[in-house]
Amino acid sequence: MDAATRMLTVGLAMAGAMASPAGAQAQAAPQETPRETPDEAGARAVIETLSARLLAAPSATAVLEAWCAERGLAVDPRIVAVRVPGIDKAPSPLQRERLAVGPDEVVRYRRVRLACGPHVLSEADNWYVPGRLTPEMNAALDGTQAPFGRVVRPLNPSRRNLSLRMLWRPGEGTVPGPDAPLFSVEAVLSTGGVPFCEVAETYTGAVLARGER
- Cβ atoms 62, 34 nearer than 8 A: no
Stretch 85-108: mean pLDDT, rounded?
Answer: 95
In a domain, 213, yes or no: no
Contact 164, 184 (CB under 8 A): yes
HEC assignment per residue over 180-205: CEEEEEEEEEEECCEEEEEEEEEEEH
Q: What is the pLDDT of residues 109-130, one digit of tens each?
A: 999 999 999 999 999 999 999 9
Q: How many domains does the chain have?
A: 1
Q: What is the arithmetic mean of pLDDT over 180-192?
A: 98
Q: Is the pLDDT score of 2 beyond 90?
A: no
What single DSSP character describes residue 104?
A: T
Tell me, yes or no, whether 92 lies in a domain.
yes
Task: Return d(Cα 94, Cα 195) in angstroms, integer.
Answer: 13
- Condensed to tens digits (0 to 9), the pLDDT of residues 12-24 reads 444 444 333 333 3
Residue 87: its pLDDT value, please? 85
For residue 8, name the pLDDT band (cuts at 50, 70, 90): low
Domain extent, residue 74, equals 3-208
On the CB side of 28, CA atoms within 13 Å amount to 5
CATH of residue 52:
3.40.1410.10
Euclidean distance between the first and the last CA atom of the chain, given in angstroms as a whole number: 32
Mean residue pLDDT across the chain: 87
Return the pLDDT at 98.
98
Q: pLDDT-derived band of residue 1, with 50, 70 and 90 as boundaries?
A: very low
Residue (of 105, 165, 162, 149) closest to 130 by Cα position: 105
CA–CA gap between residue 144 and residue 117 (Å, rounded): 17
CA-CA distance, 116 to 72, in Å (whole number)? 10
Question: What's phi and psi for 30, nearest 5 deg?
Answer: -60, -25
**Quick one: the chain helix, strand, coil %, rounded to 5?**
40, 25, 35
Give yes or no for a contact between 163 and 191, defined as CB atoms under 8 angstroms apart: no
